Structure 1
Amino acid sequence: MEKFVAATNVKVNNHIPDDLAFFILSKLFVKSLYRFGCVRKAWTLLFENPQFMIMYRNYFLYNNHSYYDGASILLNHCLVPLTGEPGELLHSTLYLLFSDKFENRVKLDWPPPFHEDDRCIHILRFVCVNGTLCLTQGRGRYAKCVFWNPTTGEFKVIPPSLFEYVPYHDTMKNFHGFGYDHVRDDYKVIRQLDFFLDCYAYVPCDEPVGFTLMWEIYSLRSNSWRKHDVDTPFCSSYDEVYMDGFCHWSGIDDYHSLSKVGPCLVSFDLCNEVFLTTPFPSDMVDYCDILRLVLLNGSIAIIIYDESTTFHIRILGELGVKESWANVFIVKPLPCVQHPIGVGEKGDIFLRKNDDELVWYDMSTRTIEELGVKGSQGCCTIVVYKDNLLPL
């Protein structure tokens, strides 16, 4: 009994040394770090602490996410025609890049639907889902959309929608996202249809001429499109990422009801088929025309860049929470670099130089290496790719 009383009278030291605390906290996700701010006031300012940020960045870069296990890089390279005639479209070439410095390169053949026309083929939003790519070509009346597994060669041509044909109108098909619904074991595509009056068509006076834009979803299981009624239409920027059943893109253009939200990250839940918005921080809004949405080591991130060629990288901690954008990396000025075109599996940033030469920047060693490829303006994209032998 006396020993028990003595033990209870011993003063407990609840102080955790900063070195130990930082070591533990540096291994947490951004979302968890923000929550730990309620434990100790000083921890609310962790992202402003230089000592902690060194530890956090190192762990973030060296602890590769399982998403990248066995991954390689696809480079979709659009080539300018040799004739250089005005109005000529760019021919698309696909390369598989591998080895530590990407010096090994293998040209891949596009699937049969594109054998006769390889112009302007896009990998929808630079996303590979379970080894499958969604390829699109064009956005007008004759637009193509094809699922393709480069490893097995299997492909599936997506049929047209009943909604895209409107009398006296042309239709613009804006593909926004491609991903996997794990609840229904289904691959889906979400797109927006915009209708424009055909200026060459004779329209009877009693015919309606105004059609609002429409969202629709394609399901591989049903092999069909269906209309998706949504209250808030969103316009997107050029880039998009996919992660864990969500398609994400930057909501930049606010000529629709984005004006109520402002510039933001738009997320679409493929399982529940609902939208979610995460506003950009106020100090990011002025840079919304020079940012790139990427997936950085398993986290949603924004690369902000300007004419000084300094890159600021912010990582999102929690969807829907504006305050959870953490400013984690600042990449000092890189000579002759124009803008990023994508991110690899180890945090490698692929960039275009002023002379159109493609390079990659190793964030761990802070070195730049050339790929030995020249890219056309705005026409080179990077995709993290993983083999998958399973059928669609």
Structure 2
Amino acid sequence: MHVFLSSTRTIPSKKNMLSLIPNDYDHHHGELDMSVNLGLPFFNEDTQSLKVKGACINGIVCLYGGAQFGNKDIVLWNPAMREFKVVPACPIDCPYYADYSVEGLGFGYDAKTKDYKVVRTVYIWEVNGPLYPHLIESILAFDMSHEVFLWMALPDLGNIRDASTKKSFNVLDTRIAIIVDHVVEGIEKSFDIWVMREYGVEESWTKQIKIGPLLGVDRPVGFGNNGNLLLVDHNGEVSFSPG
């Protein structure tokens, strides 16, 4: 089963709703007219910040219950088989005297060992006085097989440090893609799609398409198999924009 996890949102009952859409779904001919309660027995009802980390791989998604629960609430879940596995807690403790934050959690597949891996990055610092974040405009990639980090430069995306501009990373036709989200005149949004044509080659970055301005869009969530950009509105509903 190959699925694209479209959105996560909290509803008034404090229970989390996950929308699962096939990544080959054709919005021109298909209809989403039925919901199925799959159940999430591995999280309690107080979990309000349930998030999906990474893409769906071979029908498996990585769910994260929020930093307040620690990484005991990292779960690999196959919704089709209704099976899950809780990821063991990290055995490495941060120093008691240091401040830290969990900067990212990724889920991937190691083709060499034919196994799944969860990668967690933690930012630790010790300072006297104010903390000044060090902004680096680059991609930090992790080689699942050799377990090493790689740096990749970004293209010139313009003024992406503006508060109204955001960027997110995804995969489009097996290539790394960047979605740059711009606010237009306060209410509309436009999206620039950048694609790295050759893996690891900075000069191969290409601005593929500009979408919008669009009204009522909250954020992008990724691409379907047909290259369409999947967007979420302010109500948590999914819409499609031609890629």
Q: TM-score, normalised by structure 2?
A: 0.77
Q: Deviations over 1:15-37 (max 9, x none)?
A: xxxxxxxxxxxxxxxxxxxxxxx
Q: How far apart, CA to CA, are the structure 1 residues paired with 2:201 and 2:17?
A: 39
Which one of 162, 181, 206 corresponds to residue 305 of structure 1? 181
How far 1:114 sits from its partner (Å)? 1.2
Match of 1:9 in 2: none
Q: Is 1:100 equivalent to 2:29 in the alignment?
A: no
Kindly provide the amino acid, as one letter, of the partner of residue 138 in structure 2.
C
Q: Is 1:128 equivalent to 2:56 in the alignment?
A: yes
Match of 1:271 in 2: 145
Match of 1:292 in 2: 168
Q: Is 1:361 equivalent to 2:240 in the alignment?
A: yes
- 2:108–2:144 CA contact under 8 A, matched in 1: yes
Question: What's the % identity of the aligned pairs?
Answer: 29
Q: How far apart, CA to CA, are the structure 2 residues paired with 1:280 and 1:169?
A: 31
Q: Is 1:333 equivalent to 2:207 in the alignment?
A: no
How far 1:179 sits from its partner (Å)? 0.9
Superposition pairs of residues 116-195 of structure 1, within 5 angstroms: 116-125=45-54, 127-140=55-68, 142-143=70-71, 144-164=73-93, 166-167=95-96, 172-194=101-123
Question: How has the CA–CA distance of structure 1 residues 141 and 362 changed in structure 2, closer, same or farther, with 3 Å as cutoff?
Answer: closer
Question: How has the CA–CA distance of structure 1 residues 95 and 359 changed in structure 2, closer, same or farther, with 3 Å as cutoff?
Answer: closer
Match of 2:12 in 1: 81
Question: How has the CA–CA distance of structure 1 residues 174 and 159 changed in structure 2, closer, same or farther, with 3 Å as cutoff?
Answer: farther
Question: How has the CA–CA distance of structure 1 residues 147 and 320 changed in structure 2, closer, same or farther, with 3 Å as cutoff?
Answer: same
Which one of 118, 133, 138 corresponds to residue 255 of structure 1? 133
More helix by share: 1
Question: How has the CA–CA distance of structure 1 residues 107 and 77 changed in structure 2, closer, same or farther, with 3 Å as cutoff?
Answer: farther
Q: Deviations over 1:192-226 (max 9, x none)?
A: 23568xxxxxxxxxxxxx59xxxxxxxxxxxxxxx
- 2:102–2:122 CA contact under 8 A, matched in 1: yes
Q: Would you say how many aligned residue pairs link Structure 1 and Structure 2? A: 226
- 2:60–2:76 CA contact under 8 A, matched in 1: yes
Superposition pairs of residues 44-59 of structure 1, within 5 angstroms: none
Q: How far apart, CA to CA, are the structure 2 residues paired with 1:306 and 1:268?
A: 28
- 2:2–2:57 CA contact under 8 A, matched in 1: no
Q: Deviations over 1:277-301 (max 9, x none)?
A: 221123x152254222122232221
Superposition pairs of residues 232-243 of structure 1, within 5 angstroms: none
- 1:111–1:153 CA contact under 8 A, matched in 2: no
Q: Deviations over 1:287-339 (max 9, x none)?
A: 25422212223222112231233322111122332211111112242234343
Question: How has the CA–CA distance of structure 1 residues 280 and 151 changed in structure 2, closer, same or farther, with 3 Å as cutoff?
Answer: same
Q: How far apart, CA to CA, are the structure 1 residues paired with 2:175 and 2:198?
A: 10
Unaligned residue ranges in structure 1 (runs of 5+): 1-69, 83-89, 197-209, 212-253, 365-392
How far 1:146 sits from its partner (Å)? 1.1
Q: How far apart, CA to CA, are the structure 2 residues paired with 1:267 and 1:73?
A: 22
How far 1:115 sits from its partner (Å)? 4.5
Unaligned residue ranges in structure 2 (runs of 5+): none
How far 1:191 sits from its partner (Å)? 1.0
Q: How far apart, CA to CA, are the structure 1 residues paired with 2:18 and 2:78?
A: 13
Q: How far apart, CA to CA, are the structure 2 residues paired with 1:80 and 1:301?
A: 31
More strand by share: 2
Match of 1:385 in 2: none
Q: Deviations over 1:239-290 (max 9, x none)?
A: xxxxxxxxxxxxxxx935xx6xx401221111111122221123x1522542
SS of 2:226's equivalent? coil
